[in-house]
Each structure stands twice: as C-alpha cells, then as structure tokens.
Amino acid sequence: MTFPPAPLPVASPCIKVCVLDARNVCVGCGRTIDEITQWSRLTEEQQRQVVDRARQRREAAS
C-alpha cells in the first residue's frame, strides 16, 4: 500500500527584517504582531491564511 507524500509544513514568511509600523504590522513579512506571536500555535490552514493576508498587506503597501 502506497501513501501520497505528506504536505510540507508552511514556511514562516519572516525575512529577518523585523520592524513594526504604526499599525503593529511587520514591514518585512507583512504579518501583524498577533500573527507573529501566534504562528507556532496555528494550524497549517491558519498559517496559509496568515501568509496570504501578509502577502496582500505587502502588495498594498508597495
């Protein structure tokens, strides 16, 4: 019996530019301070949602 490979864990979007703006959003990765501090406790689906929201924030800021 063969099983499909397990999905890879969601990589943190951190790029080591950890500076918060006035809204408590990291200018490096686009996550809020709450998303950053809760990252390790989130499910993979929640982490994917955070990555999507962070990407949207970075795109909106450019």
Amino acid identity at 46: Q
Q: Where are the domains of the chain?
A: 15-62
pLDDT tens over the chain, length 62 residues? 788 777 778 999 999 999 999 999 999 999 999 999 999 999 999 999 999 999 999 999 87
Kindly tell me the sign of the dihedral angle through the C-alpha atoms of 17, 20, 26, 27.
Answer: negative
Residue 42 is predicted with a pLDDT of 96
Helical (H) or strand (E) element with 48: helix 44-61
Residue 9 is predicted with a pLDDT of 86
Kindly tell me the sign of the dihedral angle through the C-alpha atoms of 53, 33, 14, 47.
Answer: negative
pTM recorded for the entire structure: 0.83
CB contact at 8 A, 34 and 46: no
List of residues 6+ apart from 17 with CB closer than 8 A: 26, 27, 28, 29
